[in-house]
Amino acid sequence: EILASCTSIVSVDQNGNVIHGRNLDYPFHPYLANLAVHYEFYRKGELLYEGDGSAAFLGIVTGMRPGAFGISINERSKGGALSTIYEIMLRRTFSVPFYIRRVLERAENFTAAVELLSSEEFAAPCYLTVSCVAKNEGVVITRDRRGVYNVSQIDFDSQDQWFLVQTNYDRDVPDPASD
């Protein structure tokens, strides 16, 4: 949330298969690569969900509940590091990567995941890409700290919306020329 760079994509192929991918394009990636961890969480011997993060950090930046949905987070630069720390420490709002773990644990399907990700107050604004196994179940939720700013929905039958790509910029404004 404080130092984030990434791109997420959700798309649908010609057979209706949903594809969810992402990259973490941090400038310090040579160091981060050595700390990358893939987590698997089990309940009663069954895989409940899995996700990726960094060693010594228990939040999830990319996760999947098998047969149900996947989530990835992108930074949304609105506010800054100090206000995020204030939100976590003093207001006790959720750190988004930790809340993603909660959603992966509690939501049993795409709709429930989208509802949970849309309803909680967060410590930082962000973009949440959520995918599912059904061809039109893919969204990008643009979040402010207190609620949803915008939701973009995938549409398999559309010429323009059969995929969604989310960088670190709002979808309704042009990307900066410097990027």
- The catalytic residues are 6
Residue type at position 139: V
Q: Pseudo-torsion of CA 177, 154, 48, 93, nearest 10°? A: 50
Half-sphere exposure of 51 (CA within 13 A, CB side): 30
- Residue 156 token pair: 């398999």
Place of tokens 């976590």: 88
Phi/psi class of residue 92: alpha, beta or left (left: φ > 0; alpha: ψ in -120 to 50)?
Answer: left
Distance of CA 82 to the CA centre of its chain: 22
